[in-house]
């Protein structure tokens, strides 16, 4: 009966209900967007490591993120490759650099990635396809989703990285605009040429294990073998670390988290307002319920049911609008945003807590409904 009454109350005034649902839809959509962005940044942050196939990674203690890494001597990779259970290894070179298009006066920030010729470590089909092209000196593979400031990125285009001429030979997809304007994958040799780093330098050592080897055990063994200045991560750990860096260390995470909080508050306030009006309009009816012996829990139950109804009615359309907007945003910004179960449930949980909070606020109003006024 509680639910029945809530349903009937909610649909008694269709126009008002529609208006309320529209407002809620926007608040919830805002939440979808902000959380979607947050997830997009998180996903995008570790895209490079998603593109690579490996089991364990060795990095320096001072390694922060792919854009801010400290190199170590490649002898330690060789050392690790001799350990039990390790099948092969590949060195990864990372560095920040400048990009200068000849038609453009602006310098843009680029992250360059140097790879050894070990195609086994490549998981991304785009990089796999263009892999051979980068082993021609001074030819690079450039991010198809580069920022406009980077200029013309067509294949065959020549530009300067750190003042040295290079040529775009193929494309891959990165689009991490919050980390750099563009990304380039190149051979180890080109990388060393552009940066002038000593040849023994290495940013990340990637390892593949023999079939059946236990990652945890090998990781422990490597930690013992390698000097104190180095750390060993599994692939998932490295990806998680990379993602957390952007969420917790860079303002970009804070930005979207604030957005989520604001959207949440807007939702609570809106829902509170809607329920408040709803209860005010029926205060005599609720007082009557109290007078004839319904307890507060029944009456609040009706209120809570209405809150949930409103919220779910707002949730459903915003879910579908979000799917559409995510596609649009991906097409425009290349931020890897998309609808997934995790996001859907997260927003649903937020929406339900929105209901709980606004119902508690509205409850005060119901409590004040005084049946004595009815006589």
Task: Please report where in the chains the tokens 């490549």 appear, as a residue.
Answer: 122
Q: Contact between 12 and other proteins (CB under 8 A)?
A: yes
Q: Contact between 216 and other proteins (CB under 8 A)?
A: no
| Of 272, 294, 283, the residue nearest 362 (C-alpha) | 272
Binding mask 295-324 for other proteins (x = CB under 8 A): xx----------------------------
Q: Contact between 148 and other proteins (CB under 8 A)?
A: no
* CA distance linking residue 126 with residue 138, whole number of Å: 19
Residue 227 structure tokens: 């000097």
**Which range of residues in 9-17, 191-199, 233-241, 314-322 is near other proteins by CB under 8 A?**
9-17
Cβ-in-10-Å burial (0-12, 13-18, 19+) of 232 comes to: buried
* CA distance linking residue 162 with residue 110, whole number of Å: 10
- Applying CB under 8 A, among 61, 200, 249, 284 the residue interacting with other proteins is 284
Q: Contact between 280 and other proteins (CB under 8 A)?
A: no
- CA dist list (Å): 281 to 9, 278, 296, 301, 337: 10, 5, 18, 17, 42
Q: Contact between 3 and other proteins (CB under 8 A)?
A: no
Q: Contact between 14 and other proteins (CB under 8 A)?
A: no
Q: Contact between 372 and other proteins (CB under 8 A)?
A: yes
Q: Contact between 154 and other proteins (CB under 8 A)?
A: no
- CA dist list (Å): 194 to 82, 95, 167, 247, 276: 31, 10, 13, 31, 65
- Applying CB under 8 A, among 82, 292, 331, 341 the residue interacting with other proteins is 292
**Which range of residues in 27-35, 162-170, 200-208, 286-294 is near other proteins by CB under 8 A?**
286-294
DSSP E strands, 29-83? 56-60, 72-73
- Applying CB under 8 A, among 148, 156, 163, 293 the residue interacting with other proteins is 293
**Which range of residues in 8-16, 19-27, 54-62, 143-151 is near other proteins by CB under 8 A?**
8-16
CB 56, CB 207: distance < 8 Å: yes
Q: Which is nearer to other proteins, 196 or 293 (CB)?
A: 293
Q: Contact between 371 and other proteins (CB under 8 A)?
A: yes
| Of 270, 182, 237, 300, the residue nearest 63 (C-alpha) | 237
Binding site for other proteins (CB under 8 A): 1, 4-5, 8-9, 11-12, 282, 284-285, 287-296, 371-372, 374-375
């Amino acid at each position: 009966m509680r639910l029945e009454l809530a349903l009937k109350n909610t649909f008694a005034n269709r126009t008002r209900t529609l208006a309320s649902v529209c407002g809620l839809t926007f608040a919830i959509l805002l939440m979808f967007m902000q959380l979607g962005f947050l997830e997009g940044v998180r996903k995008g942050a570790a895209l490079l490591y998603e593109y690579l196939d490996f089991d364990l990674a060795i990095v320096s203690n001072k390694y922060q993120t792919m854009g801010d890494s400290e190199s170590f001597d490649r002898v330690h990779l060789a050392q690790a490759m001799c350990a039990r259970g390790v099948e092969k290894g590949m060195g990864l070179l990372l560095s920040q650099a400048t990009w200068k298009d000849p038609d453009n006066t602006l310098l843009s920030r680029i992250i360059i990635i140097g790879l050894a010729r070990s195609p086994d470590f490549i998981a991304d089909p785009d990089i796999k396809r263009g892999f051979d092209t980068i082993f021609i000196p001074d030819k690079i593979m450039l991010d198809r989703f580069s920022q406009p400031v980077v200029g013309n990125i067509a294949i065959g285009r020549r530009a300067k990285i750190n003042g040295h001429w290079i040529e775009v030979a193929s494309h891959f997809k990165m689009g991490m605009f919050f980390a750099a304007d563009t990304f380039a994958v190149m051979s180890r040799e080109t990388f060393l040429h552009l940066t002038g780093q000593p040849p023994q330098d290495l940013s990340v050592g990637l390892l593949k294990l023999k079939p059946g080897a236990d990652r945890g055990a090998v990781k422990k063994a490597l930690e013992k073998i390698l000097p104190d200045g180095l750390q060993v991560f599994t692939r998932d750990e490295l990806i998680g670390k990379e993602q957390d860096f952007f969420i917790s260390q860079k303002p970009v995470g804070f930005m979207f988290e604030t957005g989520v909080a604001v959207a949440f508050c807007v939702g609570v306030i809106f829902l509170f307002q809607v329920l408040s009006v709803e209860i005010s309009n029926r205060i005599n009816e609720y007082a009557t319920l109290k007078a004839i012996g319904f307890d507060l829990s029944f009456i609040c139950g009706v209120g809570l049911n209405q809150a949930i109804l409103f919220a779910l009615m707002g949730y459903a359309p915003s879910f579908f609008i979000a799917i559409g907007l995510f596609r649009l945003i991906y097409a425009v910004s290349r931020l890897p945003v998309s609808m997934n179960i995790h996001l859907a449930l997260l927003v649903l949980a937020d929406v339900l807590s929105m209901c709980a909070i606004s119902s508690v606020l509205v409850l005060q109003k119901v409590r004040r409904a005084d049946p004595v006024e009815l006589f």
